[in-house]
């Protein structure tokens, strides 16, 4: 009898050792705070929708805070998420220098902060993004080749650059535009201006800046490169309103959206875009949140040592623009 009881106790102990630990989800659904720089931007809204879809499938709650283009609101909204007692905070489209306070408060409360398209600082867990340096160089290379095709005999091709200089990822892109276009290998390219748009009126601001330069340079202006394609919408309209076509002056940008693809299909001066997989940011982020907070996996087995996860991007122009109502497939075709 004693022997049977001893064996029973041994088996119970063994089961306790090998049984999986109860997950966070089993105790209560996760509460995720999503702090967005500007939900009017397709990139941010697409990332949010993908995270919300993943959260809904897993029974999580997502609390959205839209900073409406004002970077100064990011830390305060992060702090609000701490007060809400979020299990994790996701910051989308931020700026490292303006989330420091929010990160510090979240860290003190032991709430992990996951980033999207925002440089890591302090103890943030990971940044899911696209490679801004690579995208900037890619777009500038495309622009340079197109300018030479449009005007092969023109001695100097003039380029205007515009973007949101408040954001690190946009400054990244501009630095790479300059690195390519101002290379000593390309003496026929001249940057005539680098303009900062008004982030709270980016649509009107981009149009006005473009019209100013089109009035000054006319057909001598060859290309207007934008840090995101939303700016190129206004620029494309400005080019047409000035009486020019894409063969005279064109614009390009980075991000990719349904409106951009519509303009490319129409043959507007917006001729190409580096398309990003915004939903991919959130799929990557949500997967890591689940592995770390629900499944209890070790940080080093989930997050790369660089604390950065790059998702694919793809060049889109008239040769591969998706049909109306369809999105870009991020593959190697």
123, 142: one domain: no
33, 144: one domain: no
Closest CA to 243 of 273, 217, 219: 219
What tokens appear for 105 in the block? 């408060």
Question: Does residue 270 sit within a domain?
Answer: yes
pTM (2 decimals)?
0.79
- Cα–Cα distance measured from residue 87 to residue 192, given in angstroms and rounded to the nearest whole number: 48
226, 120: one domain: no
145, 122: one domain: no
Give the range of the structural domain holding residue 218, as residue numbers without chain letter.
132-276
217, 287: one domain: no
Question: Does residue 21 sit within a domain?
Answer: no
* Residue 211 backbone dihedrals phi, psi, to 5 degrees: -65, -40
- Three-state DSSP at 276 gives strand
Contact of 242 with 216, CB cutoff 8 Å? no
284, 223: one domain: no
286, 223: one domain: no
Task: Read off the CATH number of the domain in which 219 is found.
Answer: 3.40.50.2300
Residue 310's CB is within 10 A of a number of other CB atoms, namely 16
Q: How many domains does the chain have?
A: 2
286, 187: one domain: no
Question: Does residue 173 sit within a domain?
Answer: yes
Closest CA to 276 of 239, 233, 310, 241: 310
Mean pLDDT per 10-residue section of the chain, whose length is 333 residues: 38 35 58 96 92 98 96 96 98 91 97 94 94 96 95 94 90 96 93 95 95 97 96 98 97 95 97 96 97 96 96 96 90 48
Contact of 41 with 58, CB cutoff 8 Å? no
């Amino acid at each position: 009898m004693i022997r049977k009881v001893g064996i029973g106790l041994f088996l119970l102990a063994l089961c306790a050792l090998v049984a999986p630990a109860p997950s966070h989800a089993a105790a209560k659904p996760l509460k995720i705070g999503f702090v967005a720089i500007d939900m009017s931007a397709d990139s941010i809204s697409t990332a949010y929708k993908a995270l919300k879809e993943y959260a809904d499938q897993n029974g999580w709650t997502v609390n959205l805070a839209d900073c409406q283009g004002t970077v100064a609101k990011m830390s305060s909204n992060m702090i609000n998420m701490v007060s809400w007692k979020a299990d994790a905070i996701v910051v989308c489209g931020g700026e490292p220098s303006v989330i420091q306070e929010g990160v510090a408060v979240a860290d003190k409360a032991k709430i992990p902060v996951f980033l999207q398209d925002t440089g890591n600082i302090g103890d943030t867990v990971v940044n899911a993004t696209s490679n801004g340096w690579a995208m900037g160089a890619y777009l500038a290379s495309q622009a340079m080749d197109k300018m030479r095709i449009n005007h092969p005999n023109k001695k100097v091709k003039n380029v205007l650059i515009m973007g949101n200089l408040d954001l690190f990822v946009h400054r990244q892109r501009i630095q790479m535009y300059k690195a390519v276009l101002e290379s000593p290998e390309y003496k026929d390219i001249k940057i005539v201006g680098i303009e900062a748009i008004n982030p709270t009126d980016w649509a009107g601001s981009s149009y006005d800046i473009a019209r100013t330069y089109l009035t000054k340079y006319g057909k001598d202006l060859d290309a207007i490169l934008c840090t995101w394609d939303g700016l190129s919408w206004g620029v494309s309209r400005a080019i047409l309103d000035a009486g020019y076509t894409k063969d005279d002056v064109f614009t390009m940008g980075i991000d990719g959206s349904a409106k951009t693809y519509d303009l490319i299909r129409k043959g507007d001066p917006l001729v190409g875009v580096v398309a990003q997989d915004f939903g991919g940011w959130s799929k990557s982020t949500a997967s890591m949140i689940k592995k770390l907070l629900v499944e209890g996996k070790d940080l080093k087995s989930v997050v790369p040592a660089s604390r950065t996860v790059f998702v694919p991007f793809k060049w889109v122009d008239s040769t591969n623009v998706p049909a109306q109502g369809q999105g870009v497939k991020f593959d190697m075709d």
